């Protein structure tokens, strides 16, 4: 009898302990970025959460996924989330010379799945670069966005970036606007709500030009790219002008070295950029998740891991930028 009573008391105790620890566990599990903010939208010159409050996205971009697909994994994304990152950008180069291949759609799907499981936002980046005019591969772009908008239209965590960096003999009126109108129309056929980010002239620097005559559609933001050692006051002035005109901007790519993605770090200019972005609550996404021997690579060249990163695994630029993920 005594034994039975003893067993009963013990099992009750375990039950209570189980409930308590489960409860604690749920409490300890912090909400993910997407649980906190929900679907994003554009309101005036800002990106806002589902409650209409201004938010600042903080992200990291993959390198071209044709070259560094190994970093598209959950452990990699999770380790950046731990450091304060809420957004992953998946860079898909649109030019055959830079690894364009529809076979990589699978890698994109995997990336979206990992980011989604982790409650992170994900930017699908149609990465035009050597193909400076977005019209060059417009047909392929339409196919790309048809596929992904159809597939992800119900998800809250998707952003579409329709042309990374228009450059060369390309203008807003003649090239980018007509391209954007076509691609936006196509995406909106399926996905009515998620934000679409449009590239701006001269490698996504001329936000002031776009601010004079932005697009008419809703939920559109514009790309602003900078490499702090190259793009300085003259470029920040463009941003100030555009902001005053009410242009919603998102830094879908930046680094603190020069525009080659390499060279020295300019902490002075970088600090000015980050302060400006914080003041305006403009989100930023750092280039690039790789251990390539170039300054903009966020992982140290000597680090051979592809996930589970800690601050110690970050390169010099990675460590400098990581401070801003917590601010």
Count Cβ atoms below 10 Å from residue 290 Cβ, excluding itself.
21
Burial class of residue 20 (count of CB atoms within 10 Å of its CB; 0-12, 13-18, 19+): exposed
Catalytically annotated residue among 110, 117, 165, 173: 165
CA dist., res. 60 & res. 290, Å (int): 11
Of 107-115, 136-144, 258-266, 306-314, which part binds ligand IDC (CB under 6 A)?
258-266
CA dist., res. 21 & res. 15, Å (int): 10
Is 165 designated active site? yes
Residue of minimal CB distance from ligand IDC? 261
Of 22-30, 178-186, 252-260, 314-322, which part binds ligand IDC (CB under 6 A)?
252-260
Residue from 201, 214, 261, 318 binding ligand IDC (CB under 6 A): 261
What radius of gyration do the chain's Cα atoms show?
Answer: 22
CB of 180 to ligand IDC, least distance (A): 18
Residue from 221, 284, 294, 300 binding ligand IDC (CB under 6 A): 294
Catalytically annotated residue among 110, 117, 253, 294: 253
Q: Using the rule CB under 6 A, is 66 a contact of ligand IDC?
A: no
Reference 90, options 60, 132, 54; nearest CA is: 60
CB of 174 to ligand IDC, least distance (A): 22
Report the residue number, 33 or 132, with the smaller CB distance to ligand IDC: 132
Distances (CA, A) of 85 to 176, 212, 293: 30, 32, 23
Q: Give yes or no for a contact between 222 and 250, defined as CB atoms under 8 angstroms apart.
A: yes
Q: Using the rule CB under 6 A, is 131 a contact of ligand IDC?
A: no
CB of 287 to ligand IDC, least distance (A): 6
CB of 176 to ligand IDC, least distance (A): 15
Burial class of residue 49 (count of CB atoms within 10 Å of its CB; 0-12, 13-18, 19+): middle
Is 161 designated active site? no
CA angle at residue 304 from 303 to 307, to 5 degrees?
95
Instruction: Tell me the three state secondary structure of residue 51.
Output: coil
CB of 51 to ligand IDC, least distance (A): 33
Q: Which residues are catalytic?
A: 165, 253
Interface with ligand IDC (CB under 6 A):
98, 129, 164-165, 203, 225, 227, 253, 259-261, 287-288, 292, 294, 296
């Amino acid at each position: 009898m005594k034994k039975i009573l003893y067993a009963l008391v013990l099992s009750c105790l375990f039950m209570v302990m189980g409930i308590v620890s489960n409860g604690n566990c749920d409490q300890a599990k912090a909400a993910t970025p997407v649980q906190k903010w929900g679907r994003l939208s554009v309101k005036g010159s800002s990106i806002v959460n589902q409650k209409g409050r201004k938010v600042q996205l903080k992200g990291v971009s993959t390198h071209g996924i044709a070259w560094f697909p190994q970093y598209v994994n959950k452990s990699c994304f999770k380790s950046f989330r731990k450091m304060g990152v809420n957004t992953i950008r998946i860079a898909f180069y649109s030019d055959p010379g830079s690894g364009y291949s529809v076979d990589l759609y699978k890698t994109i799907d995997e990336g979206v799945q990992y980011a989604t499981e982790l409650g992170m936002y994900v930017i699908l980046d149609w990465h035009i670069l050597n193909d400076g005019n977005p019209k060059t591969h417009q047909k392929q772009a339409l196919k790309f966005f048809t596929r992904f908008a159809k597939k992800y239209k119900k998800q809250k965590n998707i952003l579409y970036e329709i042309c990374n960096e228009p450059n060369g003999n390309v203008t807003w009126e003649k090239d980018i606007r007509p391209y954007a109108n076509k691609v936006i129309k196509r995406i909106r056929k399926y996905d009515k709500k998620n934000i679409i980010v449009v590239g701006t002239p001269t490698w996504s620097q001329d936000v002031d030009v776009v601010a004079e005559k932005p697009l008419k559609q809703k939920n559109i933001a514009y790309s602003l790219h900078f490499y702090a050692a190259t793009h300085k006051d003259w470029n920040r002035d463009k941003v100030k002008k555009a902001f005053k005109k009410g242009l919603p901007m998102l830094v879908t790519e930046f680094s603190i070295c020069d525009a080659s993605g390499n060279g020295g770090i300019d902490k002075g200019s970088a600090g000015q950029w980050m302060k400006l972005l914080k003041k305006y609550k403009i989100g930023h996404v750092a280039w690039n998740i790789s251990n390539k021997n170039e300054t903009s690579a966020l992982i140290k060249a000597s680090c051979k891991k592809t996930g589970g990163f800690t601050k110690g695994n970050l390169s010099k630029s990675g460590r400098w930028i990581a401070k801003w993920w917590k601010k």
